[in-house]
Structure 1
Amino acid sequence: MTMKSLGDPFSEKNDLRHGASCGCETCKSVSHSSAAPIMSPEAMLERAVESAVVRSVFGHSDIGRRSFMGMMGGGTVAAALASVFPLDAAKAAILDNLGTPEKTDLNIGFVPITCATPIIMAQPMGFYERYGLNASVIKTAGWAVARDKSLSGEYDASHMLTPMPLAMTLGAGSTAVPYIMPAVENINGQAIVLSNEHLDKRDPKQWKGFTFGVPFEYSMHNFLLRYYVAEHGLDPDVDIQIRVVPPPEMVANLRAGNLDGYLSPDPFNQRAVWEGIGFIHILTKEIWEGHPCCAFAAPLSFATDMPNTYGALLKAIIDATQYASNPDNRVEISEAIAPTNYLNQPVEVIQQVLTGTYADGLGAVQQVPNRIDFDPFPWHSMGVWILTQMKRWGYIENDIDYKAVAEQVYLAADAKKVMNDLGYDAPDITYKSHTIMGKIFDPAEPEAYVKSFAIGKG
């Protein structure tokens, strides 16, 4: 499978229109990488159980485990264990009977945006501690850094954009490494902001020649901006320029005139209004109500090597996400995540985002309680939609099994199990149709959906 890369995604000067002849290191790494093999959730869980059983036999001796695996061969381990151990029962009970976390001191990366609210607040508000973890949440400048620190093992788990674990698993923009996304962090929570210089250009058809910022190439921000302008007749690869700008640098670039606008995570949309340099053109919830944005993700190896730690961390994240979903808690949360070591933003700005009572930069105060919301369930259909947009815009050039990849990465079964254990409701299905700008997306027909657009490369 050949992937399209768009250069160094952390550079604010990156134009998201690199061609096949681009010689940048990221493009080279993509062209020489191969897609990771598809692993079903069943296979993932079996690997985790095998790892736990082998660990129980050999303790924490890496030498003993490796010798056993080398002697038996990876393909025969499951059969050998099954002959003496009830693997099926273990798989059914793995999240029911979590033991002591194998590792309690964890490093979790986050980019300082309100989409990371559950991951951030879980530290000062005690959610990690509640599940026996001593987690350090580490502020990260941008998504390329978050990706690279996660790939290097510096982060045990990380706040990521929902397309990122899909791209990383496929080897798009990085070395192919299997990643899992067992929980969404937030839904909605983004906006298109324009410079006050463009108060007279509210119609997207007037945006030809504009330069927009997005926080990362593999982001809902990029895909929603592309979708939005294309629906208004503009080709995002021809009629506008899209540049990757780390979220903390969005406002400064808008002020300097380097950007005409951006589709960014908050609080930087609201911060532009706060500083009097921009206005909110549209909330992304008006493009797609309930769309996913950010997520909790980790290498597959994190879950398979340390299933107890993984289970405890997932419980902490989902518990915090559900707490954040209650509007009554948003003012308290705003104060918890405002300090310098977290978002480093005025509490008032964060409150405007989380409560949905905000100035729009056009002289009005809006009341939109679900401007941002929090729902941990990782719908497989959302993953399929993201993959269709990767195909539509040339990030995936060859055929792809949309359903298999979405189900490999988005661990809906794990989310449902933990949500139910904690007393929260979870869907009984993992696929549903979605409506984006009035057009219905049927996850059962992804390729037909890609081909239905007049603008795009898919």
Structure 2
Amino acid sequence: MKDNNDHSSLGNPFDHRQSLIHGRHCDCHDCQPSGNTTITPVQAGPSSAPTDTEAMMDRMVESALVRGMFGHSDMHRRQFMKLIGGGTAAAALASLLPMDAIKAAIKENLGPLEKTQLNIGFVPITCATPIIMAHPMGFYERYGLDVSVIKTAGWAVARDKSLNREYDAAHMLTPMPLAMTLGAGSNPEHFIMPAVENINGQAIVLHNDHQDKRDPQQWKGFTFGVPFEYSMHNFLLRYYVAEHGLDPDQDIQIRVIPPPEMVANLRAGNIDGFLSPDPFNQRAVFERIGFIHLLTKDIWDGHPCCAFATSAQFARENPNTYGALLRAIIDATQYSSDPANRSEIAEAIAPTNYLNQPVTVIEQVLTGTFADGLGEVQRVPDRIDFDPFPWESMAVWILTQMKRWGYIEGDVDYQQVARDVYLATDAREVMRELGYDAPEQNARNYQIMGKTFDYTQPEAYLESFAIGRS
């Protein structure tokens, strides 16, 4: 997906005619429904997006400074530039700040980028918020990157395109880099996960016909949808029903369904419910088809879901680009973590080329004030949150569940695999460099449905379950 120069996030920040953010009110072609009249592009020239690395880095610095001056409000920036003129504003900024010295210092610190034009795949769900919003809100270009974010139908496609190098990096489910590294479901290749995107943010939704079946022991014979086998959705659903005495491989059926198809399958009666990412849980309520039985934070509060991942080869061959991309992702994730920014973000990621959902639906997910489909309005501020730190202990828990249900077999070096894939040290260094707090440790224990998970004793934890395949 490429934007016209006059609407690129790498556009001239001093030009009032250029939008640097895509959202509901953006007038670019990609953000408008088909049939809408688009504004005639301005003439190419000095305002056009830069095409070489040096110019992109210069523009990135200018844009970051100007965005910061206006609190990332593109409307206020454009109004101001129109009022006093872009040339006057640029001269005033240059008189106040040593622009050339700032640009030189940033270039020296980051090092030359081996690659500036990147393709990043995403599946259109709110878990991908940082990866998506970093495009319209300028976080990629802040670090000198020209990124195309590419909407992807599902995670099997995202995995295959990543393995085939069609994507430089991708929005993945947190179990996927582990599975890909171990060769579960695909040929083995070392993938790394230096940042989590979101924590919490999922739900179990049931069809409205099942409002009288709130006890999971009543779900024998039910069919549920999950978005991918190697997903927290699959492992959390299995964990939840097993804790209620059901064998997920014998007492219920679990089908893999791409997230955008969940609601249609629920409407058609093909499934009784699903454990899915948002906004499709909330969309089922919006469409009056289903209700929210349980938020997954009530299974494991703070559980990971989605992440930013790339191949170890990409990071090794493009260390400066990898570093810039990780900075952009962590910066965007931290911005997303502030509840004050959620409504703005909802508008930025709602358009057709991103989530293609009503802003109202996305806001209900991101703000945590939502209708539950049972006649109540719930207020759960941490329904979804964004925390980039990839705890190695999260990986260890996922590996225990992969082994529990037969997705991997034999001896597993849990701690080593976790260290090789979940790059907590990389995340900590970047978080601190950007001025964010970062944990001192790489691992910690968890409480999951009242049961303690000790990451140092994965086999003992695995053996404690009565239901499983291992």
Which TM-score band (shorter chain)?
A: 0.7 to 0.9
RMSD between superposed Cα atoms in Å:
0.9
After TM superposition, list the pairs within 5 Å mapping 1:200-279 onto structure 2: 200-279=212-291
Name which of 335, 345, 355 aligns with 1:323.
335
SS at match of 1:158: strand
The match for 1:59 is none
Aligned letter for 1:228? Y
> Hey, what does 1:169 align to over in structure 2?
181
Match of 1:32 in 2: none
1:392 aligns with 2:404: yes
Superposition deviation, residue 98 in structure 1: 2.9
Letter in 2 for 1:421: E
**1:307 maps onto 2:315 in alignment:** no
Distance 2:330 2:403 in 1: 31
Q: How many angstroms does 1:401 deviate by?
A: 0.3
State which of 400, 417, 424 in structure 2 corresponds to 1:412: 424
Residue 431 (1) aligns with residue 406 (2): no
Match of residue 349, structure 2, among 319, 328, 337: 337
Q: CA-to-partner distance for each residue in 1:322-365, whole Å, 9 max, x for gaps?
A: 00000000000000000000000000000000000000000000
Number of the residue aligned with 1:53: none
Which residue matches 2:121? 109
Amino acid across the alignment from 1:111? V
Aligned mates of 1:200, 1:363 — CA distance in 2: 14
CA–CA distance in structure 1, aligned partners of residues 241 and 360 of structure 2: 31
CA distance in 2, matches of 1:97, 1:382: 32
The whole-number CA distance in structure 1 between the counterparts of 2:226 and 2:413 is: 27
Q: Provide the residue aligned with 2:302 in structure 1.
A: 290
The residue identity in structure 2 corresponding to 1:171 is G
Q: Deviations over 1:233-282 (max 9, x none)?
A: 00000000000000000000000000000000000000000000000000
Aligned to 1:67: none
The residue type paired with residue 452 of structure 1 is S
The one of 181, 188, 199 equivalent to 1:187 is: 199
Structure 1 distance, partners of 2:110, 2:193, is 19
Question: Residues 360-401 of structure 1, C-alpha deviation per residue, up to 9 Å, x if partnerless?
Answer: 000000000000000000000000000000011011111100
Instruction: Choose from 123, 140, 150 the match for 1:128.
Output: 140
Q: Name the amino acid aligned to 2:125.
A: I
User: What residue ranges of structure 1 are gaps of 5+ in the alignment?
Assistant: 1-94
Once residues 325 and 108 of structure 2 are traced to their aligned partners in structure 1, the CA distance between those partners, rounded to angstroms, is 14
1:196 match? 208
Question: SS at the partner of 1:226?
Answer: helix
Q: Which runs of 5+ in 2 are unaligned?
A: 1-106
Change (3 A) 1:96 1:391: farther
2:378 alignment partner in structure 1: 366
C-alpha separation between the residues in 1 aligned to 2:370 and 2:159? 32
Whole-Å Cα distance in 1 between the matches of residues 314 and 356 of structure 2? 30
Q: 1-side partners of 2:109 and 2:185: how far apart? A: 38
The letter of the residue matching 2:315 is A
Following the alignment from structure 1 to structure 2, what is the Cα–Cα distance between the partners of residues 100 and 411? 23
Task: Report the Cα distance in structure 1 between the residues aligned to 2:124 and 2:455, rounded to whole angstroms.
Answer: 32
Q: Which amino acid aligns with 1:137?
A: V
**2:454 maps to amino acid:** D
With normalisation by structure 1, the TM-score equals 0.79
**Aligned-residue offset at 1:139:** 0.2
Q: What residue in structure 2 maps to residue 139 of structure 1?
A: 151
Q: Whole-Å Cα distance in 1 between the matches of residues 183 and 458 of structure 2?
A: 21
Measure the CA separation in 2 of the matches of 1:96 and 1:410: 28
Partner of 1:64: none
Higher-Rg member (1/2): 2
1:422 to 2:456 alignment: no
Deviations 1:169-218 (A, max 9, x none): 00000010000000000000000000001011010000000000000000
Q: How many residues align?
A: 364
Pick from 347, 352, 361 the counterpart of residue 349 of structure 1.
361
Q: Aligned with 1:146: secondary structure?
A: helix
Q: For 1:307 and 1:199, how far apart are their aligned partners in 2? A: 52
The two structures have a TM-score, normalised by structure 2, of 0.77
C-alpha distance in 2 between matches for 1:218 and 1:337 = 26
Residue type matched to 1:433 in 2? N
Q: Which amino acid aligns with 1:100?
A: P
Deviations along 1:46-97, one digit per CA (max 9) or x if unpaired, are xxxxxxxxxxxxxxxxxxxxxxxxxxxxxxxxxxxxxxxxxxxxxxxxx994
The answer to whether structure 1 residue 377 and structure 2 residue 389 are counterparts is yes
SS of the residue 2:148 aligns to: strand
Q: Distance in 2 between matches of 1:171 and 1:198?
A: 38
Q: Matches of 1:432 and 1:413 in 2, distance apart? A: 15
Distance 1:97 1:235, change over 3 A: same
Inter-partner Cα distance in structure 1 for 2:108 and 2:236: 38
Is residue 457 of structure 1 aligned with residue 469 of structure 2?
Answer: yes
Residue 312 of structure 2 corresponds to residue 281 of structure 1: no
What do the CA deviations read for 1:292-346 (whole angstroms, capped 9, x no partner)?
Answer: 0000000000100000000000000000000000000000000000000000000
Structure 1 runs (4+) deviating above 6 angstroms are none
Cα distance in 1, alignment partners of residues 368 and 231 from structure 2: 23
Structure 2 counterpart of 1:142, one-letter code: G
**Structure 2 residue 409 is matched with structure 1 residue 403:** no
Judging changes above 3 Å, is the alpha-carbon distance between structure 1 residues 227 and 100 closer, same or farther for their aligned structure 2 residues? same
- TM superposition shift of 1:101: 1.0
